[in-house]
Chain A
Amino acid sequence: MRRIWAVSTNTIRQALRMKVAAIFIVLLLVLLPVMGLSATGDGTLKGRLQTFVSYGLSLTSLLLSLLTIIASIHAITSDIEQRQIYTVVTKPIRRYQIILGKALGVIVLDIALLVLFGGIVYGVTSLMPRFLNASDEEVQAARNEFYTARASLVPPVLDVQKEVDELYARLVKNDQVDVIYPNMTREEVLKQLTNRKRLEKRAAAVGQTLVWEFRNVKPRDPNQSLFVRFKYDVSVTPPDEQVYGAWQVGDVRQLQPGAQQMQTPILPVTRKDTVRKFWELEAPASVVAKDGFLAVAFFNPPLNETTVLFPLEDGLEVLYKADTFTGNFVRGVLLILCRLVFLACLGAMAASFLSFPVAILFCLVIFVTGTTSGFILDSFGYMSENVSLVYTYTIQGIIQLLPRLDQYNPTTFLVPARLMTWGFLGQVVLVLVLLKTTLLLALALLIFSFRELAKVVV
Chain B
Amino acid sequence: MIMDYAIETIGLTKIFSDWWGRAKVYAVDDLNLQIRSNEVFGLLGPNGSGKTTTIKMLLGLLHPTKGHALVLGGDATHPKISARVGFLPEESYLYRFLNARETLDFYGRLFGLDAKTREMRIEALLEMVGLKAVASRPIGTYSKGMARRIGLAQALINDPDLLILDEPTTGLDPIGTRQIKDLILKLSERGKTVLLCSHLLGDVEDVCHRIAILYGGKVQAQGQVKELLQQTNKRQIITDAVSDSTVHRIRQILSDAQAECEVTAPMEKLETFFIRTVVEAQQQAKPTSGAVSTTQIGDFLTVGSGRENILDKLVAPSVSDKTPAEPVRTETVQPRETVIPEANKDLLRKLTETSGSPRTERVSSPEGAAAQPVETTVEARQQEVKKRLLDQLTKDDTAKPPAQDGDSGHA
A97 to chain B, nearest CB (A): 9
Encoded as 1 (CB less than 8 Å from any A CB) or 0, chain B from 86 to 106 comes to: 010101011101100010001
Is there contact, CB below 8 Å, between B109 and A2? yes
Inter-chain CA distance A5–B110, complex, in Å, is 9
Chain A neighbourhood of B349, CB < 8 A: none
User: Which residue of A5, A84, A452, A454 is within 8 Å of B95 (Cβ)?
Assistant: A84
A interface, size bucket: 20 to 34
Q: Is B62 in contact with chain A by the CB < 8 A criterion?
A: yes
Instruction: Identify which of residues 78-107 in chain A touch chain B, using a CB-to-CB cut-off of 8 Å.
Output: 82-95
A10 to chain B, nearest CB (A): 5
Is there contact, CB below 8 Å, between A458 and B87? no
Inter-chain CA distance A83–B92, complex, in Å, is 9
Inter-chain CA distance A85–B56, complex, in Å, is 12
Known: A14-B95, A18-B97, A457-B52. A89 touches B109 (CB 8 A): no
A2, closest chain B residue (CB): B112
A36 to chain B, nearest CB (A): 33
Inter-chain CA distance A327–B335, complex, in Å, is 61
User: Which residue of B25, B62, B80 is within 8 Å of A92 (Cβ)?
Assistant: B80
Q: Is A206 in contact with chain B by the CB < 8 A criterion?
A: no
User: Which residue of B60, B63, B77, B107 is within 8 Å of A87 (Cβ)?
Assistant: B107
Chain B neighbourhood of A13, CB < 8 A: 97-98, 102
A78 to chain B, nearest CB (A): 9
Inter-chain CA distance A95–B16, complex, in Å, is 23
User: Which residue of A85, A91, A94, A454 is within 8 Å of B111 (Cβ)?
Assistant: A91
Chain A neighbourhood of B80, CB < 8 A: 92
Is there contact, CB below 8 Å, between B61 and A86? yes
B89, closest chain A residue (CB): A86
User: Which residue of A17, A87, A89, A457 is within 8 Å of B154 (Cβ)?
Assistant: A87
A93, closest chain B residue (CB): B110
Instruction: Identify which of residues 10-26 in chain A touch chain B, using a CB-to-CB cut-off of 8 Å.
Output: 10, 13-14, 17-18
Chain B neighbourhood of A196, CB < 8 A: none
Inter-chain CA distance A284–B305, complex, in Å, is 83
Chain B neighbourhood of A86, CB < 8 A: 59, 61, 87, 89, 93
Q: Is B365 in contact with chain A by the CB < 8 A criterion?
A: no
A450, closest chain B residue (CB): B63
Is there contact, CB below 8 Å, between A454 and B56? yes
Q: Is B195 in contact with chain A by the CB < 8 A criterion?
A: no
Is there contact, CB below 8 Å, between B53 and A458? yes
A452, closest chain B residue (CB): B62
User: Which residue of B16, B87, B93 is within 8 Å of A83 (Cβ)?
Assistant: B93
Which of A5, A88, A93 has the most chain B CB atoms inside 10 A of its CB?
A: A93
Is there contact, CB below 8 Å, between A87 and B97? no
Inter-chain CA distance A10–B102, complex, in Å, is 9
Chain A neighbourhood of B60, CB < 8 A: 89-90
A94, closest chain B residue (CB): B79
Chain A neighbourhood of B59, CB < 8 A: 86, 89-90
Chain B neighbourhood of A454, CB < 8 A: 56, 61-62
Chain A neighbourhood of B83, CB < 8 A: 91-92
Inter-chain CA distance A85–B85, complex, in Å, is 16
User: Which residue of A17, A93, A453, A457 is within 8 Å of B97 (Cβ)?
Assistant: A17
A152 to chain B, nearest CB (A): 48
B78, closest chain A residue (CB): A92
Which of B25, B63, B77 has the most chain A CB atoms inside 10 A of its CB?
A: B77
Q: Is B373 in contact with chain A by the CB < 8 A criterion?
A: no
Is there contact, CB below 8 Å, between A6 and B109? yes
Is there contact, CB below 8 Å, between A92 and B82? yes
Inter-chain CA distance A452–B53, complex, in Å, is 12
Inter-chain CA distance A13–B105, complex, in Å, is 13
Chain B neighbourhood of A18, CB < 8 A: 97
Inter-chain CA distance A140–B155, complex, in Å, is 67
Is there contact, CB below 8 Å, between A87 and B93? yes
Chain B neighbourhood of A84, CB < 8 A: 93-95
A19, closest chain B residue (CB): B97
A84 to chain B, nearest CB (A): 5
Given contacts A90-B61, A452-B62, 12 further A-B contacts (CB under 8 A): A2-B112, A5-B109, A6-B109, A7-B110, A17-B138, A87-B87, A87-B151, A88-B110, A89-B77, A452-B63, A454-B61, A458-B16
Listed in ascending order, the chain B residues whose CB lies under 8 Å from chain A are: 16, 25, 27, 48, 52-53, 56, 59-63, 76-77, 79-80, 82-83, 85, 87, 89, 91, 93-95, 97-98, 102, 106-107, 109-112, 138, 151, 154, 158
